[in-house]
Amino acid sequence: MLQQLNGHSSSSHDQSRVSLREDIQEFLSGEAPLHQLDDLTKVNPVTLETVLRCLQARYMMDTFYTNAGCTLVALNPFKPVPGLYSPEMMREYHAASQPQKLKPHIFTVGEQTYRNVKSLIEPVNQSIVVSGESGAGKTWTSRCLMKFYAVVATSPTSWENHKIAERIEQRILNSNPVMEAFGNACTLRNDNSSRFGKFIQLQLNRAQQMTGAAVQTYLLEKTRVACQASSERNFHIFYQICKGASEEERVQWHLPKGSTFSWLPNPERILEEDCFEVTREAMLHLGIDTPTQNNIFKVLAGLLHLGNVQFADSEDEAQPCQLTEEAKCSVRTSASLLQLPENMLLETLRIRTIRAGRQQQVFRKACSRAECDTRRDCLAKLVYARLFDWLVLVINSSIYADPDSWTTFIGLLDVYGFESFPDNSLEQLCINYANEKLQQHFVAHYLRAQQEEYAMEGLEWSFVNYQDNQTCLDLIEGSPISICSLINEECRLNRPSSAAQLQTRIESALAGSPCLGHNKLSREPSFVVVHFAGPVRYHTAGLVEKNKDPVPPELTGLLQQSQHSLLTVLFPTDPKEKTQEKPSGQNRTPALTVVSKFKASLEQLLRILQNTTPHYIRCIKPNSQGQPQSFLQEEVLSQLEACGLVETIHISAAGFPIRVSHQNFMERYELLRRLCPRASSSFHNPYSAKEHSEQPPQGEAATLQTLLQDILHILPALTGTAATPVDSAECTPAPLQCGRTKVFMTDFMLELLENGRTQVLEQCARCIQCGWRQHQRRKQKRQRRAATLIQAAVRSWLTRKYIQRLHIAATVIKHAWQKWRIRMAFLASKELDGLEEKHFSQAHGSPNSSPLPPMQTRLLGAIIRLWPLGLVLANAAVGIRGFQRKLVVHACLQLPLSSSRSSSVQTAQQDQAGVRSIRALPQGSIRFHCRKSPLRYADTCPEPSPSSVTGFNQILLEKHRPIHV
């Protein structure tokens, strides 16, 4: 049974082999799926196939960023992803304590560079190199990074600084649309391909706030103005003015609807970049006002009409070429827009001025049709190149900060990606040469420098073979003979250059280079260079002329005669230029060629990069068609091989990505010695690279080495392994090695050390917390005891004061009561004594009275003797209950105590409510004559209590209330 796999048929045997390989891969990869591996160094094993599968799995899960050691791999999604580049996402990565633990993102690189600037670790200046093929997303990545820095690096402290920061941020962000409109174009591989290189320098002050920026450009592809490949377009700005101009502007710029221009191919294609209003608004924010914009667009419209100027072959070589009928109107319109004399424009395009002889005699010669087209194209390229450079100057003047106001910078390098077209010329050679230099910088900085550092530190390290492109660079720029030197030499010869002759010279002079290939099947003269990204065939036809980039002086003089306000700025009349145009033949210095200028600017850029801490973002294009959710393994594989990503992963996985100096290592991990007691000096360390026989002569260095060895002896306790000589002899390569000046470790060992350090810090924190809590408890106990003593003393004092007041009050009451009782008793006895005396005096002293009979006398005595009993019985409770009542009865009746139990008293008649008087017989009405008591509260009836003593007045007052005796 056959099954289709990747476009090829395979048998069941092949299917079983694939399934077996997948099972092994699943076993090696562990339980985590491939799309969850955010670092390619964690892929096991690290091969092109496994890396491809991991990237494809993450791409299909809409995860477009993956770490690869020190490099961030960015896959172009080819679709808008909501929230992936939002300001909230920027703030999340900026506010994270450890952004590396978040998902890989370009904001991780941006935040790392920003924190490196704040840490002031040398070199303080940072640079981000964004590389990749055309269409991989380099421009978009640079744009997002600029937005990120504009958000996180503008934290003003005052309102004035806030306004300044907002203005700088807006201008930096608005420089992108202008630069892309004038410098980007639609190519076969990318709709928004950068046709120039730029290095954006974001300037920061001492407070790490963005104060300005500067833009440096490299090698604008100005030939695109007059020559576009099939299915490609001119620069975006030409399409923007043709599609976005208003009716009034169309009349002013002579751009009627439906007009066609030979330098404006494929105008029917609608791209996202064809947004004229965005470009105009950005130019306004950069300080380019509306009249200046109008002048710029007039010049661009004049160049479009200049492209429609076509010449016809002249029958007589001595006569200038004639214009076609359609071209006459175009010449008139172009001259009007550029404000040039029409006759002078035609004359300059059709007639060449030659200076010869020592006297510099001037000869005028009519140009052929090809020469006329070349001069026309040269005029357009010259104007557009000057206009582009002027825009860069305007942008820099708008966003550049005073040198005294900034101290550090973060550089963003966005260069054209590696290009290989069917027809490649000088532009592609320079572009690929720049990519070779950047790849060499990456190799020198990371791959080669890392392994050389291992060897310098004395580590046991097996070198990984990586692709070194120094041979290719020697072929292009080497000394004394290289491709660039041969092309420059052809430019200096006083003879016409031949394409076949140049090919022969290159092949014969550089035949020994392994990076020089041959294509014998090609009919056109060409040579092949084997770049790090693959072989590219360059045509030699027109190579020397493009390198010369000749600008006839009469073209410059023509533009200096323009009355256009912008062209007078672009082409000022300088008397020094006239003197330099007429040097003697012997003292004339050779003119700088395009290759020489580009090489000088590239070397200057590399010097800047070498003085910074570089960071790398590798942009990968999943497919050439720009389709989302489409991952072509063949295309991605070629890009991975070209950028040296596999070698980077190998070295990062097998080497030691983390290196710390001895001093810093000791300062951070010296506290690990608390985990276990110090080992003996004879204890062998299995993790050290080798025994250092030579001890440093300085005592401090010796102490540092001793402390370092003590920490390294603790590593077996951290890893859980036994440190014996046998184990150390048979152990695998150690995850930590001690070099001469640094300690090298893997991520695993770093995690172990950090965990051990965390344990020690937790122990110390617990000890500190215990001591502090004990101190707090003791302090609280002392405070509680003091409070208790104070409270006891206060309460004792308050109680004593209260008791004293009670004693005083009781004494006063006691004295008053005794006084009142005595007085009442005295008054009562006095009243009773007076009543008895009066009664007896009336009974015995009156002569008219007759003596009472004995029975009445005895009855009267009994009444007098028994009156207390009547009062008691009248106010007592019902019945004869109660011990006190019985005692009163016995006392009044004078009964013997022995017979008190058997005696009974009939008190039925006395249990009546009210008070019985003691002054008369218990018949009739009773009236009391009470005097007012001298006491203040004597007439008040207090509330009776069980323990109180009933007084005489109380008995008299409470006549309606029964009292229990």
The b/e string for 743-773 (b: 16+ C-beta within 10 A; e otherwise) is: bbbbbebbebbeebbeebeeeeeeeeeeeee
Averaged pLDDT for residues 734-744: 77
751, part of any domain: yes
Q: Is 183 part of any known ligand binding site?
A: no
Residue 164: which CATH number?
A: 3.40.850.10
pLDDT attached to residue 123 = 84
Model pTM?
Answer: 0.67
* Domain containing residue 749: 658-674+733-804
Contact 238, 226 (CB under 8 A): no
Averaged pLDDT for residues 924-944: 50
Burial class (CB in 10 A: 0-12, 13-18, 19+), 875: buried
Nearest to 75 by CA among 50, 47, 56, 100: 56
Q: Say if residue 688's pLDDT is above 60.
A: no
441 vs 423, 444, 648, 654, CA distance in Å?
Answer: 28, 5, 13, 22
pLDDT attached to residue 231 = 86
381 and 470 belong to one structural domain: no
**For the ranges 31-35, 392-396, 453-457, 711-715, the one whose mean pLDDT is highest:** 392-396
The pLDDT confidence band at residue 842, using thresholds 50, 70 and 90, is: low
- Radius of gyration of the chain measured on its C-alpha atoms: 57
- Model confidence over 312-363: pLDDT tens digits? 887 777 788 888 888 889 999 999 999 999 999 999 999 888 877 676 677 8
Q: Say if residue 121's pLDDT is above 80.
A: no
pLDDT attached to residue 159 = 59
pLDDT attached to residue 276 = 93
pLDDT attached to residue 15 = 60
pLDDT attached to residue 181 = 93
- Domain end marker among 496, 511, 541: 541
Q: Is 137 part of any known ligand binding site?
A: yes
Contact 561, 553 (CB under 8 A): no
- Domain end marker among 804, 833, 858: 804
415 and 438 belong to one structural domain: no
Q: Is 870 part of any known ligand binding site?
A: no
Contact 196, 598 (CB under 8 A): no
388 and 511 belong to one structural domain: no
- Domain end marker among 475, 507, 541: 541
pLDDT attached to residue 32 = 55
Instruction: Give how far the C-alpha of residue 786 lies from the chain's centroid of Cα atoms, to the nearest Å.
Output: 53
361 and 465 belong to one structural domain: no
Percent of the chain with pLDDT over 70: 73
343, part of any domain: yes
The b/e string for 36-56 (b: 16+ C-beta within 10 A; e otherwise) is: ebbbbbbbeebeeebbbbbbb
564, part of any domain: no
Q: Say if residue 83's pLDDT is above 80.
A: yes
441, part of any domain: yes
The pLDDT confidence band at residue 281, using thresholds 50, 70 and 90, is: very high
113 and 248 belong to one structural domain: yes
737 and 787 belong to one structural domain: yes
Residue 531: which CATH number?
A: 1.20.58.530
pLDDT attached to residue 731 = 39
Q: Is 120 helix (H, G, I), strand (E, B) or coil?
A: coil
Contact 466, 447 (CB under 8 A): yes
Q: Which of 613-627, 711-725, 882-896, 901-915 has the lowest mean pLDDT?
A: 901-915
Q: Which of 193-202, 289-298, 385-394 has the lowest mean pLDDT?
A: 193-202
561, part of any domain: no
Nearest to 416 by CA among 708, 183, 82, 231: 183
154, part of any domain: yes
Q: Say if residue 178's pLDDT is above 60.
A: yes
298 and 362 belong to one structural domain: yes
Averaged pLDDT for residues 69-90: 90
List the alpha helices (DSSP H) in 643-724.
Answer: 645-654, 662-669, 699-713, 715-719
498 and 517 belong to one structural domain: yes
952, part of any domain: no
The b/e string for 521-542 (b: 16+ C-beta within 10 A; e otherwise) is: eeeebbbbbbbbbeebbbbbbe
pLDDT attached to residue 638 = 80
* Domain count for the chain: 3
Report the distance separating Cα 754 and Cα 751, nearest Å: 5
Residue where the block lists tokens 């809590």: 773
385 and 456 belong to one structural domain: no
614 vs 162, 196, 548, 861, CA distance in Å?
Answer: 30, 21, 34, 137
659 vs 1, 334, 616, 745, 770, CA distance in Å?
Answer: 55, 64, 19, 6, 37
The pLDDT confidence band at residue 883, using thresholds 50, 70 and 90, is: low
Q: Is 136 part of any known ligand binding site?
A: yes
463 and 403 belong to one structural domain: no
536, part of any domain: yes
The pLDDT confidence band at residue 289, using thresholds 50, 70 and 90, is: very high
445 and 312 belong to one structural domain: no
Look up residue 965 and give its amino acid. V
Q: Which of 281-285, 415-419, 618-622, 922-926 has the lowest mean pLDDT?
A: 922-926
Q: Which of 391-400, 552-561, 657-666 has the lowest mean pLDDT?
A: 657-666
446 and 374 belong to one structural domain: no
